[in-house]
Structure 1
Amino acid sequence: MSLYTPPSFALSDQEQQGRLIRDYPFATFITSLAGAEPHISHLPLLLEADGSLSGHLARANPHWQAFAEGETVAVFHGPHAYVSPRWYVHPEREVPTWNYAVVHVHGRPELDEDAGFKLDLLDRSSAAFEPAVGGWTRQLDAARQNALLDAIVAFRLRPSRIEGKCKINQNKTPADRAQVAAQLRASAHPELLTMAAWMEALDVR
């Protein structure tokens, strides 16, 4: 499973890859099996300090049973936006396109059934995703907590390969990029504003 990436669109900087994963942690998790349909799940993943990814699946989900049988890739979808030909300097020469940024993390997930690991993972996940004000803290009794921990399977994926792609008009002129970014910023849509910021950051490097 490889990502088609023209050289001008490659996102190879590890800091930028990590930023995208942290900002867009809800991944499409795919395990391919020879001669069978792939397993696909959607779940949040934590990027650890060593570059690995941690997460969990419901034990009832058969996906985790395929980890040892095939290759797995976590697909992180970053900001994206439709780009109209009208936004370029010479619109008569252009066609519609879509700007986007993604990161694919490949590897074989390793299961960890330790209750302490699971509990720590869940606590760190809630700390990462809860609102800064009025966050949630765990108040489960021991029996309920143990039952819920038994109902999930935790894992860590250590990357064997990471691919990043950031297609944000790098193949256009600075004037074209500036006009596209201005149109995106004028929309006031949060996702489009983020894409405009990515484009503007590219132009100051």
Structure 2
Amino acid sequence: MYVPPAFHEDDLAAVHATMREARLANLVTATAEGLVATPLPLFLAPEEGPHGTLYGHLARANPQWKQPSTGDAMALFMGPDAYVSPTWYPSKLEHHKVVPTWNYVAVHAYGPVEFFEDADRLLDIVTRLTNLHEQSRPRPWAVTDAPENFIRAQLRGIIGLRLPITRLEGKRKMSQNRSEADRQGVAAGLAGSDRASERDAAKLIPV
């Protein structure tokens, strides 16, 4: 990922926060047949390794796990993003030398991916993923709410994955390269958007 110095995010806590908040990632592997990508919910175990370890699962019918990966896999996480209109820059009125751009937060996590079929490990992963995404609900659903034999049958239809992160790239492009007045204009413009993701982006602009 191209990351100019102004947009480089190297704070591990901030990078991990982006990964957690993204909820859905894209797992990309390079194979002899070309690139393969699958959208997946992943969870981060930050205590495992210097950068953390990712866990998730994919459908057994998905051929990605059967195709040997050439080198590291990559998991892509996206944070808030927003189109930035030049009309929000006060500097436009001064010289008109402005163009549209896109603000966004992104994290790329790299590492060797392991696929596995062990039923107990799979049960642990689906339980942790379920608890993660159900915990904020008024009446959370739990894996144990379903019959055990049903869950065991469902586990036979998935493959687990473990990705120990060996390298992280974080990028936070939120108008840091613009003047304070321009940043304020962008923040105000995005704050008035009818898109929730753009209002979230507005909060990340340094003003």
Give the equivalent residue in structure 2 for 1:55.
56
Distance of 1:189 and 1:148 partners within structure 2: 36
Deviation at 1:49, TM superposition (A): 2.6
Deviation at 1:142, TM superposition (A): 3.1
Distance of 1:173 and 1:30 partners within structure 2: 37
**So what's the TM-score if we normalise by structure 2?**
0.90
Q: Structure 1 stretches (4+) deviating beyond 6 angstroms?
A: none
Does residue 1:109 correspond to 2:113, yes or no? yes
**SS at 2:166's partner residue?**
strand
Distance of 1:97 and 1:172 partners within structure 2: 12
**So what's the TM-score if we normalise by structure 1?**
0.91
Check whether the contact 2:58–2:158 (CA below 8 A) recurs between aligned residues.
yes
Check whether the contact 1:67–1:109 (CA below 8 A) recurs between aligned residues.
no
Give the equivalent residue in structure 2 for 1:12.
10
Q: RMSD over aligned Cα, in angstroms?
A: 1.5
- Stretches of structure 1 that go unaligned for 5 or more consecutive residues are none
**SS at 1:105's partner residue?**
strand
Tell me the number of residue pairs that the alignment of Structure 1 and Structure 2 aligns. Answer: 198
- Stretches of structure 2 that go unaligned for 5 or more consecutive residues are none
Q: Quote the sequence identity (%).
A: 38
Matches within 5 A, 1:23-62: 23-34=21-32, 36-50=33-47, 51-62=52-63
Deviation at 1:121, TM superposition (A): 1.2
The one-letter code sitting in structure 1 at the alignment partner of 2:22 is Y
**SS at 2:176's partner residue?**
coil
- Compare 173-182 and 140-149 and name the one that shifted more: 140-149
